[in-house]
């Protein structure tokens, strides 16, 4: 038997061994289910993985995002506010076509407005691609997202309990454009559409785009941040009510360097199209909010369409 110190160090290293074996065993048991799943996932193509850590190390590698960064840099000038001003021509043209098309449907009989909104958004995005035909842009990025959100905004403002919000939007538009129901809307006009802005933001809170990692659907329903989360209340987005809100509590366009490059494009497009619709028509839903069924694809879509009754507000010019 050696000295007292030798005995203490022998016992200490024995314990270390026992603890290590126990830890390995616990990790083995805990990851058993994951290993079964990974066996199936081996067939899915992707970056190489290592045991326990998977492919998390590839996130630490600085050259990892070079391809994305180059493309993002190349696309960013396309969404400069001066270029967006030029896109306003396309937004106005297609909003006019949509407003004119709705004339035939404005008889107070219910119909599904979703395909009409989708065609308008598709015509806008195709117009934009023709405009920048030589660019390398994401082909159908940006029409399904805007069409879904415009259609949802129409529905939210059409519910019986939300008619007052629709009236406030219409009063705001009358204040900006007076009797002109077919104006050429500029970015400067759009910046005056405060209440419509709140309504679009409130719709994006309740019906955001879905992402795989973060459920913005649940995040936007946190009652600590948005009291009575199921109530459609556009005034949540007034500057006084937004004071102190964590910027990551509301992320319909995601956040950080990989956020939506098209968010200003989307909001400008939506405000021009929706303002022309609400200037000219009244919308009334034939469904209740609690009866609306949704399908969660990349974008949340209505399962049974957006069924509304439309009536003319004033005679079109």
Residues of this chain that bind ligand HEM (CB under 6 A): 72, 138, 141-142, 145-146, 149, 209, 211, 252-254, 258, 260-262, 265-266
Rounded least distance, CB 201 to ligand HEM, Å: 10
User: Beta-strand (E) ranges in the chain?
Assistant: 111-112, 281-285, 294-296, 300-302, 307-312
Rounded least distance, CB 276 to ligand HEM, Å: 18
- 266 or 310: whose CB is closer to ligand HEM? 266
Pairing of the two strands 294-296 and 307-312: unpaired
- 173 or 268: whose CB is closer to ligand HEM? 268
Rounded least distance, CB 169 to ligand HEM, Å: 18
The residue with tokens 């021009």 is: 272
In angstroms, rounded to a whole number, what is the distance separating the alpha carbons of residues 151 and 164? Answer: 18
- 181 or 272: whose CB is closer to ligand HEM? 272
Rounded least distance, CB 258 to ligand HEM, Å: 4
- 187 or 284: whose CB is closer to ligand HEM? 187
- 152 or 282: whose CB is closer to ligand HEM? 152
- 79 or 289: whose CB is closer to ligand HEM? 79
Pairing of the two strands 111-112 and 300-302: unpaired
In angstroms, rounded to a whole number, what is the distance separating the alpha carbons of residues 276 and 183? Answer: 8
In angstroms, rounded to a whole number, what is the distance separating the alpha carbons of residues 197 and 236? Answer: 11
Rounded least distance, CB 5 to ligand HEM, Å: 58
Q: How many contiguous H segments (helices) and E segments (strands) does the chain have?
A: 12, 5
CA-closest candidate to residue 214, choices 261, 246, 260, 249: 249
**In which element (H, E) is residue 116 found?**
helix 114-131
- 30 or 130: whose CB is closer to ligand HEM? 130
Rounded least distance, CB 211 to ligand HEM, Å: 5
Question: Which residue is nearest to ligand HEM, using beta carbons?
Answer: 262
- 20 or 135: whose CB is closer to ligand HEM? 135
CA-closest candidate to residue 162, choices 274, 284, 273, 302: 284
Give the long-range contacts of residues 186-189, CB within 8 A, separation 24 or more: 186/85, 186/88, 187/81, 187/84, 187/85, 187/88, 187/268
User: Beta-strand (E) ranges in 40-84?
Assistant: none
| Residue 23 phi, psi dihedral angles, 5° rounding | -65, -45
Rounded least distance, CB 269 to ligand HEM, Å: 7
In angstroms, rounded to a whole number, what is the distance separating the alpha carbons of residues 306 and 151? Answer: 7
- 121 or 181: whose CB is closer to ligand HEM? 121
* Sign of the torsion formed by the C-alpha atoms of 37, 42, 44 and 48: positive
Rounded least distance, CB 87 to ligand HEM, Å: 9
Rounded least distance, CB 200 to ligand HEM, Å: 8
């Amino acid at each position: 038997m050696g000295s007292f110190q030798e005995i203490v160090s022998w016992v200490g290293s024995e314990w270390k061994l026992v603890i290590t074996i126990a830890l390995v065993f616990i990790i083995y048991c805990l990851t058993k289910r994951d290993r079964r799943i990974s066996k199936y996932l081996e067939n899915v193509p992707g970056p190489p993985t290592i045991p326990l850590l998977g492919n998390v190390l590839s996130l630490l590698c600085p050259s990892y995002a070079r391809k994305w960064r180059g493309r993002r840099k190349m696309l960013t000038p396309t969404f400069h506010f001066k270029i967006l001003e030029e896109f306003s021509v396309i937004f106005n043209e297609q909003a006019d076509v949509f407003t004119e098309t709705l004339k035939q449907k404005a008889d107070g009989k219910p119909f599904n407005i979703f395909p009409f909104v989708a065609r308008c958004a598709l015509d806008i995005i195709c117009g934009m691609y023709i405009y920048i035909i030589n660019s390398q842009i994401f082909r159908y990025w940006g029409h399904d997202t805007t069409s879904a959100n415009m259609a949802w905004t129409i529905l939210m403002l059409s519910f019986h309990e939300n008619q007052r919000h629709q009236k406030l939007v219409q009063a705001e538009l009358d204040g900006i454009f007076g009797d002109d129901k077919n104006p050429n809307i500029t970015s400067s006009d759009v910046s005056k559409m405060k209440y419509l802005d709140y309504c679009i933001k409130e719709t994006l809170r309740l019906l955001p785009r879905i992402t795989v990692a973060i459920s913005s659907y649940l995040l936007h329903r946190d009652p600590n941040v948005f009291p009575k989360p199921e109530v459609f209340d556009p005034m949540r987005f007034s500057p006084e009510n937004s004071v102190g809100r964590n910027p990551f509590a509301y992320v319909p366009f995601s956040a950080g360097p990989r956020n939506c490059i098209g968010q200003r494009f989307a909001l400008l497009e939506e405000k021009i199209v929706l303002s022309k619709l609400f200037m000219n028509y009244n919308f009334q839903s034939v469904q209740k909010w609690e009866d609306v069924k949704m399908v969660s694809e990349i974008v949340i879509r209505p399962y049974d369409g957006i069924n509304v009754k439309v009536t003319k507000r004033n005679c079109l010019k």
